[in-house]
Amino acid sequence: MANNIKETTPKGFHNLFLENRNVLSLTGVTDVENFDEKSIMLYTQLGELTIQGKDLRINSMSVETGDLSVEGDIWSIQYGDKDNKKSPTFFSKLFK
């Protein structure tokens, strides 16, 4: 009997872990578009991600691994378009 199930492989990877709504750890980050104390807009291997809150700060960032750590009062995590293509920014050049 032939197996007709198609296996799909993801384009990339991305995980997030939110601890007590004030420490967010991310993997699979490819670019940080912009950030300030109220909002961080970034791109992961699986699409756009916007983090909103109060007193937000990027605690650590690794361009080699794509890991990012955010601290602050996190109110919202919102995903956007998976296939959004954009022109490269300064941070995206660092992540390559």
Tell whether 86 is covered by a domain. no
**Domains in the chain, number:** 1
- Diameter over CA atoms, the chain: 59
Closest by Cα among 14, 60, 15, 52 to 36: 52
Tell whether 5 is covered by a domain. no
- Measured distance CA(57)–CA(52) in Å, rounded: 11
| DSSP code string of 68-84 | EEEEEEEEEEEE--TT-
| Tens of pLDDT, residue by residue, the chain (96 residues) | 455 544 444 567 899 999 999 999 999 999 999 999 999 999 999 999 999 999 999 999 998 999 999 999 999 999 998 766 455 555 555 555
Closest by Cα among 43, 40, 30 to 75: 40
Whole-number pLDDT of residue 32:
94
Tell whether 33 is covered by a domain. yes
Tell whether 1 is covered by a domain. no
Kindly report the CATH number assigned to the domain that includes residue 62: 2.60.40.2000
Whether the model clears a pTM of 0.85, i.e. scores above it, the answer is: no
57 strand-pairing partners: 71
